Amino acid sequence: MTAHGSSTAPADLRSTVARHWTATEARDWTAVASTLADGVVYDLPQTRERIRGKEAFLRFYREYPGDWHVRVERLVAEGDQVVSWIHARVGPEEMHAITFFGGDAEGRITTITDFWPEPYEPPAGREHLTERY
Amino acid sequence: MTAHGSSTAPADLRSTVARHWTATEARDWTAVASTLADGVVYDLPQTRERIRGKEAFLRFYREYPGDWHVRVERLVAEGDQVVSWIHARVGPEEMHAITFFGGDAEGRITTITDFWPEPYEPPAGREHLTERY
């Protein structure tokens, strides 16, 4: 991201991830690209799909169907690990997504692991402990 | 957890969460209880269920059916926010769970928000970008 490769300050993956989501919501693909390492690997454990490389990943985002919107609910960062919890909206459908990011020494994203939990009905037998919201 | 309430050192929620999962896997309910604030609130956004208070929460864990096992895959901690990614096994079924924890000044868990993403078939139309693993 910066010209001076000799910097010894730890790069800030937290701010990279914040920029990643802002740029994604804005469909600013140049800015999204600047958050990614060339060899970024994107994993979806629920489908066991993997996408390798910045170009394929950007194409996946660009081609993603629907009028989707993303908003960051929470970011938790520790060194070269960042987790985001986003609220996603595609038309009338609302979803949560939780994403684990890893980064390189320059603060670019090298790994993305995405989870998309879906609503389900509570199993019977625990109504004595729970309320609904 | 400690007797000296005058401590000014920030309590370590990361280690509390690590103990929480170790004690949970061991069914050591006394140790699990020691990781929790009395007023802990547990949310399951997928079912919109909420459990209030340490006693109800412990009962939920104790009564949870099946021969379940949990193993921490990743912990990401930032101040009073910790996220865990665990691998859970219930008999032959294997799942991921992602949990957001919040804590109090004594490093006890005050909020738990749990996501249980399930496997699904990849949508058609992105095979040109993905491989399966």
Q: Is residue A91 in some structural domain?
A: yes
pLDDT of residue A44 exceeding 50, the answer is yes
Bridge partners of residue B82, in order along the sequence: B77, B101
Whole-number Å distance between alpha carbons of B71 and A49: 23
A64-82: burial string, b at 16+ Cβ within 10 Å, e else: eeeebebeeebbbbbebbb
The DSSP line for A93-124 is EEEEEEEEEEE-TTS-EEEEEEE-----PPPT
Q: Is residue B124 in some structural domain?
A: no
Q: pLDDT tens, A72-127?
A: 999 999 999 999 999 999 999 999 999 999 999 999 999 999 999 999 999 888 99
Whole-number Å distance between alpha carbons of B84 and B65: 22
Cβ within 8 Å, pair A50-B132: yes
Query: pTM for the complete prediction?
Result: 0.90
Q: Is residue B123 in some structural domain?
A: no
Q: Is B131 on the interface with A (CB under 8 A)?
A: yes
Q: Is residue A123 in some structural domain?
A: no
Q: According to the model, what pLDDT value does residue B10 have?
A: 54
**Angle made by CA atoms B38, B78, A104, in degrees to the nearest 5:** 155
Q: Is residue B5 in some structural domain?
A: no
Q: Looking up tokens 């938790």, which residue turns up? A: A76
How do the pLDDT tens digits run along chain B, 133 residues long? 444 444 444 579 999 999 999 999 999 999 999 999 999 999 999 999 999 999 999 999 999 889 999 999 999 999 999 999 999 999 999 999 999 999 999 999 999 999 999 999 998 889 999 999 9
Alpha helix (H) residue ranges in chain A: 13-25, 29-34, 54-63
Contact map slice: B 8-47 vs A, CB within 8 A: 43-47
Q: Is residue B36 in some structural domain?
A: yes
The residue segments making up the domain with residue A66 are 11-115
Whole-number Å distance between alpha carbons of A98 and A75: 10
> Who among A81, A82, A133 is closest to B50 (CB)?
A133
User: Model ipTM?
Assistant: 0.88
Cβ within 8 Å, pair B46-A119: yes
Of the candidates A21, A5, A13, the residue with the CA atom closest to the CA atom of residue A80: A13
Q: According to the model, what pLDDT value does residue A11 have?
A: 72
Whole-number Å distance between alpha carbons of A100 and B24: 24
Query: How many residues comprise chain B?
Result: 133
Q: Is residue A16 in some structural domain?
A: yes
Nearest CA-CA distance, residue A3 and chain B, Å: 29
Q: Is B119 on the interface with A (CB under 8 A)?
A: yes
Residue A37, classed as helix, strand or coil, is: strand
Contact map slice: A 67-106 vs B, CB within 8 A: 74, 76-78, 81-83, 85, 96, 98, 100
Whole-number Å distance between alpha carbons of A57 and A48: 15
Query: How many residues comprise chain A?
Result: 133
Whole-number Å distance between alpha carbons of B36 and B58: 9
Q: Is residue A131 in some structural domain?
A: no
CATH number of the domain within which B44 lies:
3.10.450.50
Number of domains in chain B: 1
Residue A27, classed as helix, strand or coil, is: coil
Q: Is A6 on the interface with B (CB under 8 A)?
A: no
Task: Output the furthest CA–CA distance in chain B (Å, rounded).
Answer: 60
Q: According to the model, what pLDDT value does residue A10 have?
A: 54
Q: According to the model, what pLDDT value does residue A75 have?
A: 97
